Amino acid sequence: MSTGTTKSQSGSGSLLELVLIVATALALALAIQAFLVKPYRIPSPSMEPTLAIGQRVLVNRLGNRFSQPDVGEVMVFHPPAGAEEASQCANPGEGQGEASPCSRSTQRRAEVNFIKRVVGVPGDRIAIRNGRVVRNGVLAREPFVRPCEGEGGCDFPQEITVPPGHYFMMGDNRGASDDSRFWGPVPRDWLIGGAFATYWPPGRIGPL
């Protein structure tokens, strides 16, 4: 009688321990995703050839709280509201169809996430020539880009200055990327984190 009771109590204790382990592991996984590392799936060809549609990357959510993003870093961020539907520049004389890229975004952010590369930081002077960035008067070295090939947004010869606390973002596929050229630099508060590695598909696993 007493042996059966002991076994029953032992079984209940083991089940409770298992439930606690699973719950703790789940809580840790959610905390890591919420505050440290978040997976992100590439939804469009705007970052080709660096990142293909369907490829998955890991994003460091913590790093940008302690350091400033650098030129060349691939970032996940919230674009301005309306950027996911059409190009919107807060300055009507800039952006699509104009001589200069957009220097100021609309004030409200979208809830969707974009992934692009930082090509300009606060204070940088930015122009675009044949889809390539001219930063502070110097043509940037960008071996990772796919040429613009004459599509819209290839040339913005007039410089704009990136405002304080903002970052100018462009996709590597310059002829197929809706980016800061058309809807402006992104405020630091809208940045989610830097993509630092790819984990899918298996053939493309590695650091960025």
Q: What dotted CATH number matches 37-207?
A: 2.10.109.10
Q: Which range, of 4-8, 35-39, 93-97, averages the lowest pLDDT? A: 4-8
Lowest-confidence region among 18-32, 37-51, 95-109? 18-32
Q: Give me the catalytic one of 38, 100, 116, 180.
A: 116
**Tokens 């004389």 — which residue?**
93
Q: Indicate if 116 belongs to the active site.
A: yes
Dist CA 151 CA 168 (whole Å): 20
pLDDT at 30: 43
Choose, from 38, 46, 100, 180, the residue flagged as catalytic: 46
Cis amide bond preceding 207, omega within 30: no
Tell me the average pLDDT across 168-195.
Answer: 95
Whether 32 has a pLDDT exceeding 50, the answer reads no
Tokens for 148?
């613009």
Burial pattern 129-167, b for ≥16 Cβ within 10 A else e, equals eebbbbbeeeebebeebbebeeeebbebeebbbbbeebb
Task: State residue 134's pLDDT score.
Answer: 98
Instruction: Tell me the per-residue pLDDT of 112-162, one tens digit each, with 9 for 90 and over.
Output: 999 999 999 999 999 999 999 999 999 999 999 998 977 678 999 999 999
Alpha helices in the chain (DSSP H): 2-35, 180-183
Q: For every residue of 94-111, which 3-state class applies, written as one string? A: CCCCCCCCCCCCCCCECC
Establish how many alpha carbons lie within 13 A of residue 114's alpha carbon, considering only the half-sphere containing its beta carbon: 29
Going by C-alpha positions, the residue among 48, 55, 57, 49 that lies closest to residue 75 is: 57
Prediction pTM value: 0.82
Please confirm, yes or no, whether 46 is among the known catalytic residues.
yes
Q: Delimit the domains of the chain by residue range.
A: 1-35, 37-207
Contact present, 179 and 171 (Cβ < 8 Å) = yes
